[in-house]
């Protein structure tokens, strides 16, 4: 049996996060795939900023300007939702140091939604999420895990 957690814990499973960058026009913002380093994180350390980016994305999406404004055009809504979830995870961890909050990319899991083309079974994917949810109270927080390893591609 796992020990009872003293501090709250959370695991967010979305995968793609990246940094905020200016778009070609200079007034909009976008989220790229490449990763959020610690220096960039402090620039983002506000959920209002993430909300601004998402509102700009939604506006550009509605106006058909994703490509012109430098947003991802392949699975753009999916990508932005995952990026926002990962960013909010970092913000929660920073604002609530007594909480254990991490994100995980469980990899491509064989499920109905992937037409069973994944590399892991559903049980293997769930094992990684459950392991993070059961980390001891003093383990690191605000990290992105790719399966069982801390990844710098957060």
- Residues with catalytic roles: 78
Kindly give, in sequence order, each residue whose CB lies less than 8 Å from that of residue 86, ignoring residues fewer than 6 positions away.
12, 14, 15, 16, 17, 36, 103, 144, 154
Question: Look-up: residue for tokens 């892991």?
Answer: 120
Nearest Cα to Cα of residue 29 among 52, 46, 2, 61: 52
Q: Would you say 10 and 99 are in contact if contact means Cβ atoms under 8 Å apart?
A: yes
């Amino acid at each position: 049996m796992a020990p009872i957690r003293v501090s709250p814990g959370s695991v967010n499973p979305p995968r793609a996060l990246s940094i905020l960058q200016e778009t070609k026009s200079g007034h909009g913002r976008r989220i790229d795939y490449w990763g959020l380093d610690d220096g960039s994180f402090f620039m983002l350390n506000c959920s209002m900023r993430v909300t601004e980016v998402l509102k700009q994305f939604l506006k550009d999406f509605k106006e058909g300007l994703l490509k012109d404004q430098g947003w991802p055009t392949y699975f753009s809504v999916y990508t932005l939702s995952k990026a926002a979830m990962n960013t909010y995870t970092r913000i929660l961890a920073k604002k609530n140091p007594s909480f254990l909050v991490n994100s995980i990319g469980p990899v491509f899991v064989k499920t109905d939604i992937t037409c069973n083309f994944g590399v892991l079974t559903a049980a293997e994917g769930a094992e990684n999420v459950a392991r993070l949810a059961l980390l001891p109270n003093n383990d690191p927080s605000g990290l992105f895990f790719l399966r069982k390893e801390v990844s710098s591609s957060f």
